[in-house]
Amino acid sequence: GRVNIIGEHTDYSYGYVMPIAINLYTIIDYEKSDKLVLYSEAYNETKEFDLANIKSKTNSWLDYIIGVYKVMHDMGLNPGPINGKISGNLPIGSGLSSSASLELAIAAALNHTYELKLDRLQMALIGKKAENEFVGVPSGILDQFAVSFGKKGYAIFLDTQTLKYQYIPFPDILQIIVFNTGIKRELANSEYANRKKIVEESLGILKKNSSKEINEKDLDKLPLLHKKRMGYIIRENQRVLMAMDCLKNHDYVSLGKILVEAHRDIATNYEVSSPELDFVVNEALKYGAYGARLTGAGFGGSAIILSGKENSEKIAKKVYQSYTKEFKYKASYTLVEASEGTYVL
């Protein structure tokens, strides 16, 4: 899976993002076979599928898999079936990219077993296309790129327009705590599409290809709501650059402040936060975190808390205690590491 350190809702206007892959995984244990048969541990069910027949969706978890097959077929690749089991410790629907994780796991498995000779970028793009065109979620490249390119001990700074990236050392003395609010975020898909529509209209009005090309002054040419949303995005792009500098200069206090500023801005001007996410951010700061913010699409899902390694467990416990006192959702937290992306064992 992944968490995005900063650069939220910037990828579908081709701005900057800075995620890490995390050590919560989807695992596919498989062998070559003459039929596609997969068991999902999370859903406790086995599904079979006839690959000669990929037309419509099944409206189940299988769509992420046959979506990847479909995109590969459309590219003229012809991976055969596998028989296997899907398991892992990455929670589904918690804003940690369980869908990109499944897409990339299957892409890597097929790439390896059927010798497709795809590189990491091609696999990330295949995953995105499966998600956009087959599953029908209009997401950007953030999730698939992070899951595909993750590197142990590094954050990834990515320009989502050029797809040029840099690995930025993520130091051992820092800890990222993922705080899962317990609120599933699938329901938010229509809100996500609404945000994306406003952004696309804004790029159209301003005749720009990327939010990176928009400045404060341009915003005056936009209708009020568009101005509010795009104002957030152009400030967020700047914050990604500043956050990268903070990491390079080992300035974690400033990095934390930037994360909090990003959270306040996305809550006020992009309106994808929730009372629960705001609560987590405020509590984390009370107990001595450097910073915290929602991660991923928002509307529930997870927040990240950035702290020093030495007091991370204490902060996580305190936030958990006050959160579960305040809200009834089944929350959880995990201390995660910047980890390797997709690989074949």
Catalytic residues: 143
**Near ligand GLA by CB under 6 A, which window of 9-17, 34-42, 108-116, 161-169?**
9-17
Q: Kindly tell me which residue out of 296, 331, 341, 342 binds ligand GLA, with binding defined by CB under 6 A.
A: 296
Q: End-to-end distance of the chain based on CA atoms, in angstroms?
A: 17
Here the tokens at position 314 are 């204490």
Min dist CB 144 to ligand GLA, Å, is: 8
What's the CA gap between 339 and 251, in Å, rounded?
22
Min dist CB 86 to ligand GLA, Å, is: 20
Angle between helices 98-113 and 142-149 (to 10 degrees): 50
Nearer to ligand GLA among residue 36 and residue 280 (C-beta): 280
Of residues 114-143, those binding ligand GLA (CB under 6 A)? 139-140, 142-143
DSSP H/E element including 321: helix 312-326
What's the CA gap between 82 and 98, in Å, rounded?
20
150 binds ligand GLA (CB under 6 A): no
Min dist CB 143 to ligand GLA, Å, is: 5
Here the tokens at position 206 are 């301003």
- Cα dihedral 292/316/245/236 (nearest 10): -20
Min dist CB 188 to ligand GLA, Å, is: 10
Nearer to ligand GLA among residue 116 and residue 277 (C-beta): 277
Amino acid at 63: D
Burial of 44 (0-12, 13-18, 19+ CB in 10 A): exposed
Q: Kindly determine how many residues on this chain lie close enough to bind ligand GLA according to the rule CB under 6 A.
A: 11
What's the CA gap between 134 and 206, in Å, rounded?
30
**Near ligand GLA by CB under 6 A, which window of 1-9, 67-75, 109-117, 318-326?**
1-9
233 binds ligand GLA (CB under 6 A): no
Of residues 10-39, those binding ligand GLA (CB under 6 A)? 11-12
Min dist CB 189 to ligand GLA, Å, is: 10
Contact 298, 8 (CB under 8 A): yes
Q: Kindly tell me which residue out of 5, 68, 82, 297 binds ligand GLA, with binding defined by CB under 6 A.
A: 297
Residues found near ligand GLA in the complex (CB under 6 A): 4, 8-9, 11-12, 139-140, 142-143, 296-297
